[in-house]
Amino acid sequence: MKIAVIFSGSGVYDGTEIHEGVFTLLAIKKAGAEAVCFAPNIDQHHVINHITGEEMPETRNVLVEAARIARGDIHDLALFDADKMDALVLPGGFGAAKNLTKWAFSGPEGEINAQVKAAILSMAKAKKPIAGLCMGPTVIAKALEKVAFRPPLPSVAPTRRLPMI
């Protein structure tokens, strides 16, 4: 069983939430399945200093950063093929809402990355299961917008310090 995981960078405030990313890989392994990691080959929206929450004057690539979580074993999302995957996971972190979509800035109006949308839609159309963690469900909801799906997605008020920009 192959389970695709789409990362959005490395670090909660500008990429994938690392704990959620690692626990996803661990849980997939514990289930006896194989994780296949993907990320879009695009620049991050921005880079955040995770101590101060301040933006840093540099550019980082989502795929290159996500490769840190995957220990280098990761594929360009352009190569995603739903026929070869049994399920899909979108871990959280603000990268999901800054790099995969623009939900963090524009809410549900924010555009979604075309490759991310295509990956989610192709899995949904093949009736293959999809999981979203934390911010991940917003990406799924955006991808399935105006499609004949009505996914229930958990919504909880964030109470943590969440630097948005």
Partner 1 sequence: MEKTGATTEMKTIDEISIDHHNKIVTAPCYMMEADIMQVRNNVQKAIEALVGMVP
**Cβ closest to partner 1, residue 50 vs residue 128:** 128
128 part of the interface to partner 1, by CB under 8 A:
yes
16 part of the interface to partner 1, by CB under 8 A:
no
Q: Distances from the Cα of 35 to the Cαs of 66, 70, 103, 142, 151, in angstroms?
A: 14, 10, 26, 24, 24
14 part of the interface to partner 1, by CB under 8 A:
no
**Inter-axis angle of helices 18-30 and 62-69, nearest 10:** 50
**Burial of 71 from C-beta contacts in 10 A (0-12 / 13-18 / 19+):** exposed
Which span sits near partner 1 by CB under 8 A: 39-47, 50-58, 62-70, 157-165? 157-165
Work out how close the CB of 79 gets to partner 1 at its nearest, in angstroms, rounded to a whole number: 21
Work out how close the CB of 2 gets to partner 1 at its nearest, in angstroms, rounded to a whole number: 10
Q: Distances from the Cα of 119 to the Cαs of 76, 80, 97, 116, in angstroms?
A: 12, 7, 16, 5
Residues near partner 1 (CB under 8 A) are 1, 3, 12, 17, 19-20, 23-24, 26-28, 30-31, 33, 86-87, 89, 92, 107-109, 124, 127-138, 140-142, 144-147, 149-160
